[in-house]
């Protein structure tokens, strides 16, 4: 079994700021150590607030930051050095998330509704690890048989401390060695499976508390929440690893 931390996101929501696209220069000044010159997407202020107005691409090409009128969003795709180290990958996510919060503070956005982090983990199975679908069926015991079963997915959500939603989606995955993609649609079945395993997508956010009381908070609370989200992520990942080892030994 090989664990890879493939990608991650951070998002923070705030009251609508219709003129955020006009803060492009100030945001560039705050982010220019790690991010290239931003792109103004040219969307008018009176159009759908969820649409990104400004986008920044990191100098190393591993992440981008988008600002809409109601959110700051970070998207990260980890390279090999980060894929094998959860602490390293989350440290990167956390540091870039802090940049977003500091940049928003700089343009006088000081109130926030909630924030969240999601992470995609691929657990690669080799021959000795067995079949990913059978592993999932045994873990969740939701099917009496698996005849002709090609894919398997489980989703659940829970609330932690009346504040955090923890959403988890677990499924099998497979990738293929495919050539001649330029020819268009190809019959994938004739190609060799390059990798297979279990994909774990965990999304933890503080929207549960906001849904309950509707109160905005400052950036200090959001930064503290980020630390707690890190702790909860480690618990969820650790629980999966423990169950996997128990099943393998049993």
Q: What is the mean pLDDT of residues 115-143?
A: 87
> Is pLDDT of 101 > 60?
yes
d(CA 100, CA 105): 9
Identify the band that residue 135 occupies on the pLDDT scale cut at 50, 70 and 90.
Answer: confident
Q: 22-26, 71-75, 176-180: lowest mean pLDDT where?
A: 176-180
Mean pLDDT, the chain, whole residue set? 91
As beta bridge partners, residue 10 has 74, 117
In the prediction, which pLDDT does 247 show? 63
What global pTM score does this model have?
Answer: 0.91
Residues 250 and 132: their CA atoms lie apart, in Å, by 16
Mean pLDDT of 106-115: 97
Residue 181: what pLDDT?
59
Q: What is the reported pLDDT for 52?
A: 97
pLDDT, tens digit, for every residue of 11-49?
999 999 999 999 999 999 999 999 999 999 999 999 999
pLDDT of residue 193: 84
pLDDT band at 236, cuts 50/70/90? confident
> Among 233, 236, 245, which residue's Cα sits nearest to residue 87?
233
Query: According to the 3-state scheme, what is the secondary structure of 36-66?
Result: CCCEECCCCCCCCCCCCCEEEEECCCCEEEE
| Nearest alpha-carbon partner for 204 in 154, 153, 161, 152 | 161
Q: How confident is the model at residue 240 (pLDDT cuts 50, 70, 90)?
A: confident
Give the pLDDT score at 14. 98
Residue 190 has pLDDT above 80, yes or no: no
Calculate the CA 60 to chain-centre distance: 19
Computed on alpha carbons and rounded to an integer, the radius of gyration of the chain in Å comes to 21
DSSP class of residue 181 equals G
Given a cut of 80, whether residue 144 has pLDDT beyond it is no
Mean pLDDT within 112-135: 92
What does the alpha-carbon distance between residue 86 and residue 4 come to, in Å, rounded to a whole number? 9
Per DSSP (E only), the strands in 125-224 are 153-160, 164-176, 193-205
* Distance in angstroms between the alpha carbons of the first and the last residue of the chain: 16
Instruction: Read off the pLDDT band of 182 (50, 70, 90).
Output: low
Overall average pLDDT of the 189-195 stretch = 79
Closest CA to 63 of 3, 9, 99: 9
What confidence tier does 196 reach under pLDDT thresholds 50, 70, 90? very high
In this predicted structure, what is the pLDDT of residue 198?
94
pLDDT of residue 250: 56
């Amino acid at each position: 079994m090989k664990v890879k931390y493939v990608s991650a996101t951070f998002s923070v929501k705030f009251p609508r700021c219709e003129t955020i696209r006009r803060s492009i220069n100030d945001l560039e000044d705050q982010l220019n150590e790690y991010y290239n010159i931003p792109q103004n997407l040219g969307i008018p202020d009176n159009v759908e607030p969820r649409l990104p107005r400004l986008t920044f691409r990191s100098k190393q090409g591993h992440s981008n930051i988008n600002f809409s009128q109601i959110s700051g969003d970070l998207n990260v795709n980890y390279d090999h050095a980060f894929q094998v180290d959860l602490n390293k990958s989350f440290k990167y996510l956390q540091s870039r998330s802090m940049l977003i919060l500091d940049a928003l503070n700089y343009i006088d956005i000081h109130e926030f509704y909630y924030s969240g982090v999601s992470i995609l983990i691929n657990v690669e199975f080799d021959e000795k690890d067995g079949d990913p679908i059978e592993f999932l069926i045994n873990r969740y015991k939701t099917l009496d048989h698996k005849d002709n079963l090609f894919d398997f997915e489980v989703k659940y959500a829970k609330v932690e401390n009346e504040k955090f939603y923890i959403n988890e989606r677990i499924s099998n995955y497979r990738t293929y060695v495919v050539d001649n993609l330029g020819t268009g649609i190809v019959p994938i079945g004739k190609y060799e499976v390059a990798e297979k395993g279990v994909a774990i997508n965990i999304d933890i956010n503080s929207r549960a508390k906001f849904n309950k009381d509707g109160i905005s908070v400052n950036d200090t609370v959001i930064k503290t929440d980020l630390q707690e989200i890190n702790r909860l992520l480690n618990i969820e990942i650790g629980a999966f690893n423990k169950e996997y080892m128990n099943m393998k030994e049993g």
